[in-house]
Amino acid sequence: MKPELHNAGIAMGLKPHELDHIETQLGREPRLPELAVFAGMWSEHCSYKSSRSRLGMMPREAPYLLAGPGSHAGAVDVGEGWAVAFKIESHNHPSAVEPYQGAATGVGGILRDVIAQGARPCLVMDSLCFGPPHDPKSRHIAQGVVAGIAGYGNAIGLPNVGGKTVYDPRYEGNPLVNALAAGLVRHDGMRTAKAAGIGNAVIYAGASTGRDGILGAAFASVELGEDTTEKRSHVQVGDPFTGKKLMEACLAFGPEHGMVACQDMGACGLTCAASEMATLGGVGIDLSLDAVPLREAGMEPFEVLVSESQERFLFVVEAKRAAEAVKHFEHYGVHAAVIGTVTEGGRFRALWNGEVVVDLPAALVANGAPKLNWPEAPTLPPVAEYADFAAPKDLSKPLLRMLSEPGIADLTHLYDHYDHTVGNRTVRGPGEAEAAVMKLPNSARGFAITITGRGELCAVDAYKGSLAALGEATRNLACVGARIMAITDGINHGPPSDPVENKKLTETIRGLADGLKALEIPVTGGNVSLYNATADGAIPPTPMVGAIGIVEDVSRVPRAELTTDLALILCGTPQATPMTSAYGRIASGQLAGGSVNVDLAADKRLAQLLVDAIRRGMVSFAKDAGAGGLLVALAKGCARGRVGATVAYTFEGRLDWHFFGETSGVAWVGVEPRFAEAFLAMAKSSGVAAMRLGNTGGSRLTIKTGESTVLDVSIDALRKAFMSSAERGSA
């Protein structure tokens, strides 16, 4: 290969062995636009070249799975002829550079995956990790990200129904912005990306193409260095108004209009959409780049091919109905143009001024990236235990401290920026229950959805931390009466080129795979974002888990706020030993320490009990113990419901670890006293330890163990601590 061509390829992010592979496969030197095509498509972001083989460890089949990995968005059967299509996507690097637009385009991008599946989006959720709020740069990023998610979601008219926000110094400079979208589609309304029908038209629809995010996919796959500011031209601008028009136009454009296949233009834009559609269909595609609607003058063909301008779709349409299709989109105020043809022979070709500038095997472009087998460290460095600290005698001080901790404290002030009722489907929105609950049209049936990630646990043990994330998702869904049925995963990791980070990646995927097998559920697809690191090191491995389950009767869903005169039942077996936890971090001042305590089987047993009891209409309040442990869970229920509780019981082991430790399979249930006996009997037959420990009422939360009172605090004080983060100015 000519040195200048070789250097151009390297500058675009291709590796020397990849350049060699390209030349060997083609049997000739690639053209410059062809190099750009490979650089985009063979980036980590598009090709998953470092993670692909390991992702196969995860189970990906279930009878109710209507679309699995490899689809635009996975889809599960939720009954009454409806499917829910859902997927998670990361926009970490764009959000680090330009928080508002990075987050906004992240939301826009994941919505287009759901739309491409044929589903009308019905919700957005997000899982965010920021540096600590006292750091001005982290605060700037957090505020921009929240505003961007709100700005796009509110305007396009989708409720943001919850999520998770973590503040941790290990995300300083490399925030994680993962957005999840879900939509409803009739079983027979699902769409495919498989191009078919030689001679059919390839139609471009949406915003015109500019020099936005040129090689953004390659950019997402490099570490954020000091020169990040120089990469600013990569950032795309989101336009929810065009996004909304395009959404309506696409959802109204089906097979009855001659639509054969569709795909959104996301990472690597036109190239990705066209080469993948051709490869999936076993056909070729010819593109005439001159026909692409352009926003800027003087664009080079390679820029048109790899631009990541937002709000664009590619369709394959029956040839004779192409003109009609263009009119359809124009009616909705959306640009559309016939830009190509489906061809025989599996070539991905692009023409510019009549000259062939790209002529490649589509499958080589879409799926041909050589796998990268990075070396793995044989073992991971051990994590030190927490330094010793004395147990408090009274729990009020640590409890109030924990309740005000960013990441545990109430986020109502943040969620007020998001519309969570538009669309009239939201049965439980943010903070109203452990998971969001949406109803199906004209039905009392619905589905529950949650998103979580436990990076702080994965930092210590990526395998167990991944299991813990699945466990938390299982419990969250169970607390609204839904059995976990499928997940979408968003894996956020450090650079796999580092053997230690690469080993952690294996551990994360192994944890997810083993957890899914234990729960007997599939992954439906997801996202992998690697190279999340700054000069200070890699982020903790952070797999985000978006999980879904069916709610048979939305009128029976418990709330996450306590009401008066309920019997309080503690389910599960808390352990009073030191473990990696929010409490350990706060009490010791160390970010990580100890072991990770996880027992997925216990979560599964607890979940079965909760789902059965909720379906029988017995449960008024259900809240699982997550970060902060069982006392924080109870205190949050009191604070939200503005009601006190009196709890009495004895236990073994250290007071603080018992109440603040994070044990799997633990939850509080509040039932009307008449249901208490029946619930305890159900628990017994489900193999879940359960004890009735007290009642709700009054204006204080009081806990007695034997003769001594270990906590006696007013609800006002709890609320003040829990609601305090608004004043501190976190996001």
Partner 1 sequence: MATFKVELIVKPKSGVRDPQGEAVDGAVRGLEVKNVKVHQVGRFLSMDVTATSEEDARRAVDDLCKRLLVNPNLETYSAQVTKS
Partner 2 sequence: MSGPSSSAPSGARPKAAVIVFPGTNGDRDMAESFERAGFTPVYVDSRETAPADCKIAGVPGGFSYGDYWRAGMLARYAPAMRALPELVAKGGLVIGICNGFQILVEAGMLPGALTYNNPPGFKHKWVTVEARETKVKSPWLTRVQRGAKLRWPMAHGEGNYYHPGGWDAIADNVPFVYDRNMNGSIGNTAALLDATGRVFGVMPHPDRASDPHIGSTDGSAIFESAYDAVAQGRV
* Among partner 1, partner 2, none, partner that 257 touches (CB below 5 to 8 angstroms by kind): none
Please pick, from the candidates 97, 291, 518, 586, the single residue that binds partner 1 as defined by CB under 8 A.
Answer: 97
Give backbone dihedrals phi and psi of 185, rounded to 5 degrees, phi first.
-145, 140
Residue 98 binding partner 1, by CB under 8 A: yes
Nearer to partner 1 by Cβ, of 214 and 688: the residue is 214
Residue 330 binding partner 2, by CB under 8 A: no
Please pick, from the candidates 169, 197, 423, 698, the single residue that binds partner 2 as defined by CB under 8 A.
Answer: 423
Q: For residue 393, with 0-12 CB atoms within 10 Å meaning exposed, 13-18 middle and 19 or more buried, which class applies?
A: exposed
SS3 of residue 715 by DSSP: helix
Count of residues that interact with partner 2, criterion CB under 8 A: 36
Min separation Cβ 132 and partner 1, Å: 22
**Tokens of residue 174, six digits:** 């490399």
Report d(CA 562, CA 696) in Å as an integer.
Answer: 7
Q: Which stretch binds partner 1 (CB under 8 A): 233-241, 411-419, 663-671, 676-684?
A: 233-241
Min separation Cβ 328 and partner 1, Å: 18
Residue 422 binding partner 1, by CB under 8 A: no
Largest distance between two CA atoms of the chain: 89
* Among partner 2, partner 1, none, partner that 235 touches (CB below 5 to 8 angstroms by kind): partner 1
Min separation Cβ 108 and partner 1, Å: 11
Please pick, from the candidates 34, 44, 172, 212, the single residue that binds partner 1 as defined by CB under 8 A.
Answer: 212
Residue 85 binding partner 2, by CB under 8 A: no
**Tokens of residue 247, six digits:** 């959404």
Residue 328 binding partner 2, by CB under 8 A: no
In sequence order, what DSSP letters do the residues of 308-333 get, joined into one string?
--SSEEEEEE-GGGHHHHHHHHHHTT
* Among partner 1, partner 2, none, partner that 426 touches (CB below 5 to 8 angstroms by kind): partner 2
**Tokens of residue 203, six digits:** 């139609």
Report d(CA 596, CA 715) in Å as an integer.
Answer: 32
Residues tagged active-site:
45, 91
Report d(CA 593, CA 577) in Å as an integer.
Answer: 12
Q: Is-contact 25 364, C-beta < 8 A?
A: yes
* Among partner 2, partner 1, none, partner that 232 touches (CB below 5 to 8 angstroms by kind): partner 1
Nearer to partner 2 by Cβ, of 340 and 429: the residue is 429
Residue 252 binding partner 2, by CB under 8 A: yes
Residue 418 binding partner 2, by CB under 8 A: yes
Cα separation values, 178 from 149, 333, 545, Å: 10, 30, 10
Q: Which stretch binds partner 1 (CB under 8 A): 131-139, 207-215, 377-385, 621-629?
A: 207-215
Please pick, from the candidates 226, 227, 232, 442, the single residue that binds partner 1 as defined by CB under 8 A.
Answer: 232
Element (DSSP H or E) covering residue 594: none
Helices then strands, each counted (H, E), the chain: 26, 28
**Tokens of residue 146, six digits:** 């929240």
Residue 157 binding partner 2, by CB under 8 A: yes
Report d(CA 272, CA 292) in Å as an integer.
Answer: 15
Task: Please report, as residue ranges, which positions from 282 to 321 form the binding site for partner 1 (by CB under 8 A).
Answer: 295-296, 309-310
Nearer to partner 2 by Cβ, of 344 and 416: the residue is 416
Nearer to partner 2 by Cβ, of 426 and 450: the residue is 426
User: To the nearest 10°, the Cα dihedral for 676, 679, 681, 687?
Assistant: -140
Min separation Cβ 244 and partner 1, Å: 11
Residue 352 binding partner 2, by CB under 8 A: no
Residue 677 binding partner 2, by CB under 8 A: no
Q: Which stretch binds partner 1 (CB under 8 A): 94-102, 184-192, 415-423, 429-437?
A: 94-102
In sequence order, what DSSP letters do the residues of 485-554 get, joined into one string?
EEEEEEEE---TTSHHHHHHHHHHHHHHHHHHHHHT--EEEEEEE---EETTEEPPPEEEEEEEEEES-G
Residue 710 binding partner 2, by CB under 8 A: no
Residue 470 binding partner 2, by CB under 8 A: no
User: Which of 9, 1, 11 has the alpha carbon at shortest distance from 38?
Assistant: 9
* Among partner 2, partner 1, none, partner that 442 touches (CB below 5 to 8 angstroms by kind): partner 2
Q: What is the pattern of x (binds partner 1, CB under 8 A) and - over residues 314-333? A: -------------------x
Min separation Cβ 98 and partner 1, Å: 5
Name every residue whose Cβ is closer than 8 Å to that of residue 136 and which is 6 or more positions away in sequence.
none
Residue 70 binding partner 2, by CB under 8 A: no
* Among partner 2, partner 1, none, partner that 189 touches (CB below 5 to 8 angstroms by kind): none
Min separation Cβ 245 and partner 2, Å: 5
Q: CA 22: distance to chain centroid?
A: 34
Task: Please report, as residue ranges, which positions from 107 to 126 form the binding site for partner 2 (by CB under 8 A).
Answer: 120
Q: Is-contact 697 703, C-beta < 8 A?
A: no
Task: Please report, as residue ranges, which positions from 481 to 500 form the binding site for partner 1 (by CB under 8 A).
Answer: none
* Among partner 1, partner 2, none, partner that 113 touches (CB below 5 to 8 angstroms by kind): none
Residue 194 binding partner 1, by CB under 8 A: no
Residue 137 binding partner 1, by CB under 8 A: no
Q: What is the DSSP letter of 483?
A: -
* Among partner 2, partner 1, none, partner that 223 touches (CB below 5 to 8 angstroms by kind): none
Q: For residue 24, with 0-12 CB atoms within 10 Å meaning exposed, 13-18 middle and 19 or more buried, which class applies?
A: exposed
Q: Which stretch binds partner 1 (CB under 8 A): 234-242, 324-332, 390-398, 451-459?
A: 234-242
Nearer to partner 1 by Cβ, of 151 and 549: the residue is 151
Residue 239 binding partner 1, by CB under 8 A: yes
Which residue is associated with the tokens 């390297």? 10
Q: What is the DSSP letter of 268?
A: T
Nearer to partner 1 by Cβ, of 213 and 431: the residue is 213
Element (DSSP H or E) covering residue 17: helix 16-26
Min separation Cβ 311 and partner 2, Å: 12
Min separation Cβ 446 and partner 2, Å: 8
Residue 333 binding partner 2, by CB under 8 A: yes
User: Which of 690, 629, 652 has the alpha carbon at shortest distance from 576?
Assistant: 652
What would you report as the CA-atom Rg of the chain, rounded to the nearest whole angstrom? 26
Q: What is the DSSP letter of 231?
A: G
Residue 726 binding partner 2, by CB under 8 A: no
Using a CB cutoff of 8 Å and minimum separation of 24, what contacts does 237-240 make?
A: 237/101, 237/105, 237/212, 237/310, 238/101, 238/104, 238/105, 238/107, 238/108, 238/148, 238/151, 238/152, 238/310, 238/311, 239/207, 239/310, 239/311, 240/104, 240/108, 240/151, 240/152, 240/153, 240/155, 240/156
Report d(CA 216, CA 268) in Å as an integer.
Answer: 7
Q: Which stretch binds partner 2 (CB under 8 A): 15-23, 261-269, 414-422, 559-567?
A: 414-422
Residue 620 binding partner 2, by CB under 8 A: no
Q: For residue 57, with 0-12 CB atoms within 10 Å meaning exposed, 13-18 middle and 19 or more buried, which class applies?
A: middle
Min separation Cβ 257 and partner 1, Å: 24
The residues of the shown chain that bind partner 2, judged by CB under 8 A, are 120, 150-151, 154-157, 239-241, 244-245, 248, 251-252, 332-333, 415-427, 439, 441-442, 444, 554-555
- Please report, as ranges, the residues that interact with partner 1 according to CB under 8 A: 97-98, 101, 207, 210-212, 232, 235-237, 239, 241-242, 295-296, 309-310, 333
